[in-house]
Amino acid sequence: MATKKKTAPAKKKSTSTKPKAHRQFSSPMLDGPDRAPSRAMLHPVGFEKEDFKKSIIGVASTWSMVTPCNMHIDKLAKESVKGADAAGGKAIEFNTITISDGISMGTEGMKYSLVSREVIADSIETVVGCEGMDGVVAIGGCDKNMPACVMAMARMNRPAVFVYGGTIKPGCLDGEDLDIVSVFEAVGEHSAGKITKKRLEGVTENAIPGPGSCGGMYTANTMASAIEALGMSLPNSSAQAAISDEKMMDCLDAGAAVVNLIKKNIRPRDIMKKKAFENAITLIITLGGSTNAVLHLLAMASAAGVNLKIDDFTRIGKKVPVLADLKPSGKHVMMKLVEIGGTLPLMKMLLDAGMLHGDCMTVTGKTMAQNLAKVKPYPKSQEIVRELKNPIKEDSHLVILYGNLAPEGAVAKISGKEGLAFEGKAKCYDSEEKAMTAILDGKIRKGDVIIIRQEGPKGGPGMREMLGPTSAIMGAGLGKDVALITDGRFSGGSHGFVIGHVTPEAFEGGPIGLVKNGDKISIDAKKREVTLHVSKKELAARKKKWKQPKPKYRQGVLAKYAKLVNSASKGAITDGDC
């Protein structure tokens, strides 16, 4: 009798949802029968069936019509979407906020500026994390959204590329190049009776000709250069006009670069090492960059888990000269640097001199040295970037000061044109507005040391920039005759004998809050000291009488920020102690 042949049980289809290597974060969200609802939500926004097999690339756009710095970024974001899709990814564009320093400067609204850096970083992290994105392109075009993009990238540590929105072209009036700082300084000139109201209005109407970030080596161009030297943007992304074929191609290439980084499994924290931050510091010193770079690089390093300190700026600054003759301390706008080749020839010069770490990885998937290998030098006729043997200043213009007025440090911007030492008597103001009124009313005299306090991260709150007062001082012709010290900060457009980021801040009981009118103060850039010439006994007596002011805000984002933010000497971040 024949036996019945047994049949093998049918093999069950695998229901494993183990993430694919190129879809580490999107796979758990989109793969398998149980994730059908997630896929259903994406079909209406442009996903086809085959797209669910691709890496999901988030394109974070900081587009906004609140500022010319960002008004064109929607078009740039669409180029990055095209680049990612063409390289085999599937891009999803999303927005975050931005604010305008130039518009809010000198008002209560400016208190939201530094706060926006945290909000933007949080929002990009939130979308990328929530939506399971495998890689990120982030496009920024104004001071705070740029470090914010990189902070979010470092936190999430998913393959990512930053794209700079590009510099603005200069305005022009009567053959003179203009930018936003020209307007601020014209206000001071008008107040001092040096120009007419008609001239002031002419400067106002012609200074900003179109899209792009402020035109000198101010904070936006400084941070773009720093991020490129850090390795987080493609070569020369920091030195392109906002409206140009080069910038459109930069955005297209960035989308493809992220897909390549996913394939190679190169992540932000593989790039953002201590040596990469040293490269960033080196480049911004040679360019004469903004004091805000200290604050932002500290915050970016913290997000990347890198132990960067304000003293690293001193260590590096002793060996690195200022080479670029760029505004605000110099003569030229960023577009002039763009025209002669951008930042790459300068970086090649620094690399050849042993001043950059060439072995640092970058978002190209190659090292810094490999990226720079074929870069040609600047034209011999150019007058914007000097040779190393003929610097504008032999060491850094970013000077970290200590002393009994700033026990935990302060940041000075000293180009050398103002001199390296100052001594004078204090005139104290407990807000930017009060100081500005005094300057415009002609109450500031040669030899004064203007103290603006209660403007720190907690006390402001928000650590407002003092472009209005510094520009009014320059416009009044007092740039070499007075100093300004604050627990707030300065715009990249500020110049003169200025010291900011004084810590501890006045709100926390720092010595800057104990200064009285007429106190003698000395600044020594060589010794890196800022000294209040008051005895320890007298300071102790003043401190005993001191009472912490009540918080200025009890609810909302400014109240939350004031409660969470740490010291400016640590980057004024809100997540350092979480």
What CA–CA distance (Å, rounded) separates 500 from 465? 9
Helix (H) or strand (E) holding 57: strand 56-61
What DSSP state is assigned to residue 364?
T
**Residue-level length of the chain:** 578
In contact, 167 and 334? CB cutoff 8 Å: yes
Tokens of 117: 């850096």
Active site residue 491: yes
Rounded alpha-carbon distances, angstroms, from residue 507 to 239, 453, 510, 567: 39, 8, 7, 11
Maximum Cα interatomic distance, the chain, rounded to a whole number of Å: 120
Cis preceding linkage at 68, omega within 30: no
In contact, 162 and 146? CB cutoff 8 Å: yes
Q: Which residues, at least 6 apart from 92, have a Cβ–Cβ distance to it below 8 Å?
A: 45, 56, 57, 58, 59, 131, 133
Q: Is 570 helix (H, G, I), strand (E, B) or coil?
A: helix
Burial 413-449 (b: 16+ CB within 10 A, else e): bbbeebeeebebebbbbbbbbebbebbbeeebeeebb
Catalytic residue among 329, 491, 567, 569: 491
What CA–CA distance (Å, rounded) separates 524 from 72? 44
Q: Which residues are catalytic?
A: 491
